[in-house]
Structure 1
Amino acid sequence: MKPVKIALALCAAVSLAACDAPKKDKTVDRGLDSKHLSQLKAGIWIDPNGCDHWIIDDGIEGYLSQRLDPYGKPVCSGTAPPNTVTGPFKRGSTVPDPV
Protein backbone atom coordinates (compact mmCIF):
# COMPACT_ATOMS: atom_id res chain seq x y z
CA MET A 1 0.00 0.00 0.00
CA LYS A 2 2.86 2.35 0.78
CA PRO A 3 4.39 2.20 -2.78
CA VAL A 4 1.00 3.14 -4.25
CA LYS A 5 0.75 6.23 -2.01
CA ILE A 6 4.30 7.25 -2.91
CA ALA A 7 3.54 6.86 -6.62
CA LEU A 8 0.36 8.94 -6.31
CA ALA A 9 2.16 11.65 -4.36
CA LEU A 10 4.93 11.74 -6.97
CA CYS A 11 2.37 12.02 -9.82
CA ALA A 12 0.59 14.85 -8.01
CA ALA A 13 3.86 16.72 -7.46
CA VAL A 14 4.85 16.40 -11.12
CA SER A 15 1.38 17.52 -12.25
CA LEU A 16 1.46 20.62 -10.07
CA ALA A 17 5.02 21.47 -11.12
CA ALA A 18 3.80 21.83 -14.71
CA CYS A 19 1.46 24.64 -13.64
CA ASP A 20 4.39 27.04 -13.28
CA ALA A 21 5.56 26.54 -16.89
CA PRO A 22 6.06 29.83 -18.76
CA LYS A 23 3.16 30.87 -20.96
CA LYS A 24 3.72 31.16 -24.73
CA ASP A 25 2.91 34.44 -26.46
CA LYS A 26 0.13 33.43 -28.86
CA THR A 27 0.27 36.73 -30.77
CA VAL A 28 3.52 35.69 -32.52
CA ASP A 29 3.75 33.41 -35.53
CA ARG A 30 6.34 30.72 -34.76
CA GLY A 31 6.94 29.53 -38.35
CA LEU A 32 10.11 29.79 -40.44
CA ASP A 33 9.30 33.37 -41.45
CA SER A 34 7.91 34.30 -38.05
CA LYS A 35 6.31 37.68 -37.57
CA HIS A 36 3.80 39.28 -35.24
CA LEU A 37 0.19 38.47 -36.18
CA SER A 38 -0.58 42.19 -36.57
CA GLN A 39 1.69 42.11 -39.65
CA LEU A 40 -0.50 39.50 -41.36
CA LYS A 41 -3.67 40.30 -43.28
CA ALA A 42 -6.83 38.48 -42.23
CA GLY A 43 -9.77 37.32 -44.27
CA ILE A 44 -13.28 36.65 -43.01
CA TRP A 45 -14.89 33.22 -42.79
CA ILE A 46 -18.67 33.16 -42.53
CA ASP A 47 -19.81 30.28 -40.29
CA PRO A 48 -22.96 28.19 -40.93
CA ASN A 49 -24.97 30.61 -38.73
CA GLY A 50 -23.88 33.61 -40.86
CA CYS A 51 -21.50 35.12 -38.29
CA ASP A 52 -18.00 36.41 -39.11
CA HIS A 53 -14.64 35.00 -37.98
CA TRP A 54 -11.16 36.44 -38.64
CA ILE A 55 -8.97 33.89 -40.44
CA ILE A 56 -5.24 33.87 -41.35
CA ASP A 57 -3.44 31.01 -43.10
CA ASP A 58 0.33 31.29 -43.54
CA GLY A 59 0.68 27.90 -45.21
CA ILE A 60 1.79 25.93 -42.14
CA GLU A 61 -0.31 27.34 -39.33
CA GLY A 62 -3.76 28.82 -39.32
CA TYR A 63 -5.42 31.29 -37.00
CA LEU A 64 -9.13 31.81 -36.39
CA SER A 65 -11.04 33.98 -33.96
CA GLN A 66 -14.62 35.17 -33.78
CA ARG A 67 -15.27 38.72 -34.94
CA LEU A 68 -16.89 40.67 -32.09
CA ASP A 69 -18.36 44.15 -31.79
CA PRO A 70 -17.18 46.57 -29.05
CA TYR A 71 -19.75 45.06 -26.67
CA GLY A 72 -18.53 41.48 -27.15
CA LYS A 73 -21.41 40.31 -29.34
CA PRO A 74 -20.76 38.33 -32.54
CA VAL A 75 -20.71 40.26 -35.82
CA CYS A 76 -22.98 38.70 -38.46
CA SER A 77 -22.51 41.05 -41.41
CA GLY A 78 -24.03 38.92 -44.16
CA THR A 79 -21.30 40.00 -46.62
CA ALA A 80 -21.03 36.47 -48.05
CA PRO A 81 -22.99 33.19 -47.99
CA PRO A 82 -22.44 30.82 -45.02
CA ASN A 83 -19.36 28.54 -45.15
CA THR A 84 -17.37 30.86 -47.42
CA VAL A 85 -14.17 32.86 -46.94
CA THR A 86 -13.47 36.32 -48.31
CA GLY A 87 -10.30 38.39 -48.33
CA PRO A 88 -6.56 37.77 -48.72
CA PHE A 89 -5.97 35.27 -45.91
CA LYS A 90 -3.78 32.66 -47.65
CA ARG A 91 -0.03 32.15 -47.30
CA GLY A 92 0.35 34.78 -44.59
CA SER A 93 -0.17 37.67 -46.95
CA THR A 94 1.36 40.66 -45.27
CA VAL A 95 -0.05 44.10 -44.76
CA PRO A 96 1.84 46.57 -47.01
CA ASP A 97 4.21 48.97 -45.30
CA PRO A 98 2.84 52.51 -44.86
CA VAL A 99 4.29 54.99 -47.34
Structure 2
Amino acid sequence: MTTFKTFLALAAIALAAGCTNEGGDRGDKTVDAGARGVGPLQDLQAGIWVDPNGCDHWIIDDGVEGYLSQRLDRSGRPVCSGIAPPNTATGNYKRGQDIRDRF
Protein backbone atom coordinates (compact mmCIF):
# COMPACT_ATOMS: atom_id res chain seq x y z
CA MET A 1 0.00 0.00 0.00
CA THR A 2 2.89 2.38 0.72
CA THR A 3 4.28 1.85 -2.78
CA PHE A 4 0.88 2.69 -4.26
CA LYS A 5 0.60 5.91 -2.21
CA THR A 6 4.13 6.90 -3.22
CA PHE A 7 3.26 6.32 -6.87
CA LEU A 8 0.10 8.43 -6.54
CA ALA A 9 2.03 11.25 -4.85
CA LEU A 10 4.69 11.27 -7.59
CA ALA A 11 2.02 11.23 -10.30
CA ALA A 12 0.23 14.19 -8.67
CA ILE A 13 3.49 16.15 -8.49
CA ALA A 14 4.26 15.39 -12.13
CA LEU A 15 0.81 16.57 -13.22
CA ALA A 16 1.02 19.74 -11.13
CA ALA A 17 4.45 20.54 -12.59
CA GLY A 18 2.83 21.23 -15.96
CA CYS A 19 0.63 23.94 -14.42
CA THR A 20 3.36 26.54 -14.04
CA ASN A 21 4.03 29.52 -16.29
CA GLU A 22 7.80 29.26 -16.07
CA GLY A 23 9.96 28.74 -19.10
CA GLY A 24 8.37 30.59 -21.95
CA ASP A 25 5.14 31.58 -23.63
CA ARG A 26 2.86 28.97 -22.07
CA GLY A 27 0.68 31.68 -20.54
CA ASP A 28 0.64 33.97 -23.59
CA LYS A 29 -2.58 33.14 -25.45
CA THR A 30 -1.63 35.32 -28.45
CA VAL A 31 1.24 33.01 -29.47
CA ASP A 32 0.98 29.63 -31.20
CA ALA A 33 3.55 27.24 -29.75
CA GLY A 34 2.30 24.17 -31.61
CA ALA A 35 3.64 22.04 -34.43
CA ARG A 36 4.46 25.05 -36.60
CA GLY A 37 6.83 26.52 -34.03
CA VAL A 38 6.31 29.66 -32.01
CA GLY A 39 4.64 32.58 -33.73
CA PRO A 40 1.87 35.13 -33.26
CA LEU A 41 -1.66 33.94 -33.96
CA GLN A 42 -2.16 37.13 -36.00
CA ASP A 43 -0.01 35.54 -38.72
CA LEU A 44 -2.33 32.53 -39.09
CA GLN A 45 -5.38 32.52 -41.34
CA ALA A 46 -8.70 32.10 -39.56
CA GLY A 47 -11.92 30.60 -40.84
CA ILE A 48 -15.43 31.00 -39.50
CA TRP A 49 -17.42 28.35 -37.68
CA VAL A 50 -21.16 28.98 -37.34
CA ASP A 51 -22.62 27.73 -34.07
CA PRO A 52 -26.07 26.10 -33.74
CA ASN A 53 -27.60 29.54 -33.06
CA GLY A 54 -26.23 30.91 -36.35
CA CYS A 55 -23.52 33.13 -34.80
CA ASP A 56 -19.93 33.30 -36.06
CA HIS A 57 -16.75 32.18 -34.31
CA TRP A 58 -13.14 32.63 -35.51
CA ILE A 59 -11.39 29.25 -35.88
CA ILE A 60 -7.73 28.32 -36.49
CA ASP A 61 -6.38 24.76 -36.61
CA ASP A 62 -2.62 24.23 -36.87
CA GLY A 63 -2.90 20.45 -37.05
CA VAL A 64 -2.09 19.83 -33.40
CA GLU A 65 -4.12 22.35 -31.48
CA GLY A 66 -7.03 24.56 -32.37
CA TYR A 67 -8.20 28.02 -31.47
CA LEU A 68 -11.77 29.32 -31.32
CA SER A 69 -13.18 32.67 -30.26
CA GLN A 70 -16.52 34.30 -30.75
CA ARG A 71 -16.71 36.90 -33.50
CA LEU A 72 -17.88 40.20 -32.00
CA ASP A 73 -18.75 43.57 -33.48
CA ARG A 74 -17.22 46.82 -32.20
CA SER A 75 -19.81 47.12 -29.44
CA GLY A 76 -19.12 43.57 -28.19
CA ARG A 77 -22.25 41.91 -29.56
CA PRO A 78 -22.05 38.53 -31.36
CA VAL A 79 -21.89 38.61 -35.16
CA CYS A 80 -24.45 36.34 -36.82
CA SER A 81 -23.71 36.94 -40.50
CA GLY A 82 -25.46 33.95 -42.08
CA ILE A 83 -22.28 33.15 -44.06
CA ALA A 84 -22.96 29.40 -43.71
CA PRO A 85 -25.55 27.00 -42.25
CA PRO A 86 -25.34 26.28 -38.49
CA ASN A 87 -22.60 23.83 -37.40
CA THR A 88 -20.52 24.56 -40.51
CA ALA A 89 -16.92 25.80 -40.78
CA THR A 90 -15.82 27.86 -43.77
CA GLY A 91 -12.51 29.27 -44.94
CA ASN A 92 -8.95 27.99 -45.23
CA TYR A 93 -8.29 27.59 -41.50
CA LYS A 94 -6.72 24.12 -41.45
CA ARG A 95 -3.07 23.63 -40.52
CA GLY A 96 -2.84 27.29 -39.49
CA GLN A 97 -1.89 28.55 -42.94
CA ASP A 98 0.30 31.58 -42.49
CA ILE A 99 -1.32 34.60 -44.13
CA ARG A 100 2.13 35.71 -45.24
CA ASP A 101 2.26 32.62 -47.51
CA ARG A 102 -0.45 34.18 -49.68
CA PHE A 103 1.60 37.20 -50.74
With structure 1 as the length reference, what TM-score do the two structures score? 0.73
**Distance of 2:31 and 2:78 partners within structure 1:** 24
How many residues are matched? 79
The one of 47, 56, 79 equivalent to 1:43 is: 47
Runs of 4+, deviation exceeding 6 Å = none
**Alpha-carbon offset, residue 98 of structure 1:** 8.3
**Alpha-carbon offset, residue 31 of structure 1:** 1.5
Q: How does 1:63-74 map to 2 (within 5 A)?
A: 63-74=67-78
Q: How does 1:47-62 map to 2 (within 5 A)?
A: 47-62=51-66
**Alpha-carbon offset, residue 97 of structure 1:** 5.8
Secondary structure of 1:64's counterpart equals strand
Aligned to 2:12: none
Aligned to 1:7: none
**Distance of 2:102 and 2:33 partners within structure 1:** 24
Query: In the TM superposition, what whole-angstrom CA distance separates every residue of 1:52-96 from its partner, at most 9, and x where no partner exists?
Result: 000000000100000000000000000110000000100011102
Aligned to 1:89: 93
What is the one-letter code of the residue matched to 1:43? G
- Give structure 2 stretches of 5+ with no counterpart: 1-20
Considering fraction of residues, name the structure with more strand. 2
Structure number, greater radius of gyration: 1
With structure 2 as the length reference, what TM-score do the two structures score? 0.70
**Distance of 1:98 and 1:79 partners within structure 2:** 23
